[in-house]
Amino acid sequence: MKVTLEKEKENLVKLDITIPAKDAVDAYNSAVKRIAQYVNIDGFRKGKAPRQVVERHVGVERIKHEAIESLMPKAISDAVRENDLDIIAQPYITSYDFEVGKDLHVVANAELRPEVTLGDYKGLTVEVEDSPIAEDAQEKSIQNLLNQHSTLEIVTDRPTKETDTAVIDFEGFANGEKIKGGDAKNYPLDLAHSNFIPGFAEQLVGKNINDEFDINVTFPAEYHDEKLKGQPAVFKIKINEIKERKVPELNDEFAQKVGDFKTVDDLKADVQKYLETQRERSNKINSENALFNKVIDAAKVEVPESMIEREVASLKEEYKQRFAMQGINWDNIIKSQGEDELLKNLRDDATVRIKNSLVIDKIAKTENLKLEQKDLEEKFNQLSAAYGMQAKDLIQQIGRNPEVLSSISQQAMNDKVRDFLMNNNKVELVAPKKK
């Protein structure tokens, strides 16, 4: 096999590959035999038709295509290895000249990894604002804990307060018609934390059990239903029950109920420990990000348009799936943001992702950082904990999807490079700036 390289635009290289006639003929004849195994040809059993008959039945070009498909993976792999090409995408055939009995000429394009010029990435000093614990953080955390263990108790001797939960029947009308999905029976509405139309919950305050009344509201201009955007509406309401939230008293008995504590002081100490851990975690993440961003900003790399287009397509599908899981239609996202603005944001995100990935790979290669078994095990343990699965079950699932496995390996390498940067640079925590 003979290979000639020719540099194309940006990071493309053209591979002109010549396969000797004997190898090309062998591949052609093998293709004939394979095709003969699964096509029906009158007068012949499968696999028994002679070459000329198979050629007439399926066409010579189809046989050539199959022969080339069988030859190219190894030919391209050998060409890449022998010429030490650092490719970032599967090479693709652009043309070929195949005359049976003569050398086969195939032209393929290969996309090379863009050249990355690293700036300073070791011996740096970066200042990062400390993430202090707010003075009332412990108090708020304990209050949240009390709220989590609160109960709702029915009250009958007073009207609703803005902190109550009202159990209601409601039925909505707009433009003279009943609102589809705008009704319910015995619906518990937390008046202090309602996600209903603005003004809805407020009009339920001061009402008594069995009261029946109408309220008037206006749908937001950005409401998801086109027919209801900015439209006035009337809701018929009936108050069935009023429930008041009862928060438990903070005492030793409560502390013993919620955890392995004997006293309130034990509970407070545990909450403070948790807040300190969160502070350390936040400082670590902020430090890693600040240091990594400084290294990225100092690096020089021209990201090819072809890479950006592929990453944009990948991001688009990723976001579509994420929104679909939340019940959000992609077309509505386009309408709300505008297609041009959305594509611009996708391109910006794609460019940042690619540059980050290229710089990480460059540092890993320069410093000879290799993924070890323990690195992957740690990443799998992190993911299994996040998804509430056993690590072995997660590994079994991921093993069926090579793309996901590759992505996790890249994440593990990202972590390894970030650890390297943290160990070879200095981060100074400074007091946060006054706002």
- Within a domain: 126: no
pLDDT at 373 (0 to 100): 85
**Residues 219-266: pLDDT tens digits?**
998 888 888 989 999 999 999 999 999 999 999 999 999 999 999 999
Range among 179-183, 376-380, 409-413 with highest mean pLDDT value: 179-183
- Within a domain: 132: no
Structure tokens at 58: 């399926």
- Residue pair 380/371 in contact (Cβ under 8 Å)? The answer is no
Domain count, the chain: 3
Domain limit, last residue, from 214, 246, 278: 246
Question: Does residue 269 sit in the same domain as residue 238?
Answer: no
Cα R_g (the chain), whole angstroms: 33
Question: Does residue 204 sit in the same domain as residue 273?
Answer: no
Which residues, 6 or more positions from 368, have their beta carbon under 8 angstroms from its beta carbon?
Answer: none
Domain holding 356: CATH number? 1.10.3120.10
pLDDT at 317 (0 to 100): 87
Range among 8-17, 109-118, 389-398 with highest mean pLDDT value: 109-118
pLDDT at 298 (0 to 100): 95
Domain limit, last residue, from 189, 220, 246: 246
Question: Does residue 27 sit in the same domain as residue 64?
Answer: yes
Cα–Cα distance, 362 to 368 (Å, whole number): 10
Domain holding 173: CATH number? 3.10.50.40
Which residue has 């439209």 as its token pair? 231
Question: Does residue 239 sit in the same domain as residue 309?
Answer: no
Domain limit, last residue, from 193, 219, 246: 246
- Within a domain: 418: yes
pLDDT at 355 (0 to 100): 93
Given a cut of 70, whether residue 268 has pLDDT beyond it is yes
> Is residue 317 exposed (0-12), middle (13-18) or buried (19+ Cβ within 10 Å)?
exposed
Question: Does residue 319 sit in the same domain as residue 408?
Answer: yes
User: Residue 89 — very low, low, confident or very high, per pLDDT cuts 50/70/90?
Assistant: confident
* Residue 2: HSE in the Cβ half-sphere, 13 Å Cα cutoff: 7
- Within a domain: 353: yes
pLDDT at 399 (0 to 100): 65
Given a cut of 80, whether residue 99 has pLDDT beyond it is yes
User: Residue 2 — very low, low, confident or very high, per pLDDT cuts 50/70/90?
Assistant: confident
Question: Does residue 301 sit in the same domain as residue 387?
Answer: yes
Question: Does residue 313 sit in the same domain as residue 407?
Answer: yes
Given a cut of 80, whether residue 179 has pLDDT beyond it is yes
pTM, 2 dp: 0.69
- Within a domain: 414: yes
Question: Does residue 107 sit in the same domain as residue 163?
Answer: no
**Residues 5-56: pLDDT tens digits?**
888 777 788 899 999 999 999 998 898 888 888 777 777 777 677 778 878 8
- Within a domain: 143: no
What single-letter DSSP state applies at residue 240?
E
- Within a domain: 125: no
- Within a domain: 204: yes
Structure tokens at 45: 């059993």
Question: Does residue 419 sit in the same domain as residue 270?
Answer: yes
What single-letter DSSP state applies at residue 228?
G
Domain ranges, residue 236: 151-246
**What residue type is 308 in one-letter code?**
I
Residue whose C-alpha is closest to residue 172's, from 232, 236, 220: 236
Q: Which of 22-26, 83-87, 139-143 has the lowest mean pLDDT?
A: 83-87
Question: Does residue 317 sit in the same domain as residue 408?
Answer: yes
Question: Does residue 227 sit in the same domain as residue 271?
Answer: no
User: Residue 123 — very low, low, confident or very high, per pLDDT cuts 50/70/90?
Assistant: very high
Question: Does residue 289 sit in the same domain as residue 200?
Answer: no
User: Residue 286 — very low, low, confident or very high, per pLDDT cuts 50/70/90?
Assistant: very high
**Residues 295-326: pLDDT tens digits?**
999 999 988 888 898 889 888 888 888 888 77
User: Residue 290 — very low, low, confident or very high, per pLDDT cuts 50/70/90?
Assistant: very high
pLDDT at 277 (0 to 100): 95
